Amino acid sequence: MMNFLELLYYRYYKFQVKVGNSDIAPFSAMLIIAASIMLYYFDFFFVFSIVFPEIAPKMSIYITFALFVSIMLCLYLLLINSGKYKKIIKQQEKHSVRKDGIVALLFPLIGFVLFIGSMFLKVFQNQGKI
């Protein structure tokens, strides 16, 4: 799991440097990973509320915000704190394969597609078609 996070971090970091955000690349790469993880959280919530509508928990904005902050804190401690991102970049540059970039592309893309699909299912449920 840690290797996967490091690979994602490296790819998003390189992307941020490539588009000209090299001064905030360490933080913005972490932010992209956190936003993708939150997409998967919302996917799970929507599917859970469709499958179990009578016991589906009410999603509180406070719980969602606390989860996002805790994910950001964990990612910061795992990837950035004490210059760990420099070690990750050096390590990934040694072992990086060009095909690894597809993983960084698919991770948020799959989360987004699942999110849109689950929203459509929720709309159909609210219309009484499911």
Distance from C-alpha of 39 to C-alpha of 37, rounded to nearest angstrom = 5
Distance from C-alpha of 92 to C-alpha of 15, rounded to nearest angstrom = 14
Between CA 62 and CA 69, with CA 67 as vertex, the angle to 5 degrees is 95
* First-to-last C-alpha distance (Å) of the chain: 36
Q: Which residues of the chain have a pLDDT value below 50?
A: none
pLDDT in tens, 12-45: 999 999 998 888 999 999 999 999 999 999 898 8
Number of neighbours of residue 70 by Cβ within 10 angstroms: 11
- Which element (helix H / strand E) includes 85? helix 84-95
Q: Residue 100 is encoded by which pair of tokens?
A: 């690894």
Distance from C-alpha of 130 to C-alpha of 124, rounded to nearest angstrom = 6
Which of 70, 97, 67, 81 is closest to 3 using CA atoms?
A: 97
pTM confidence score: 0.86
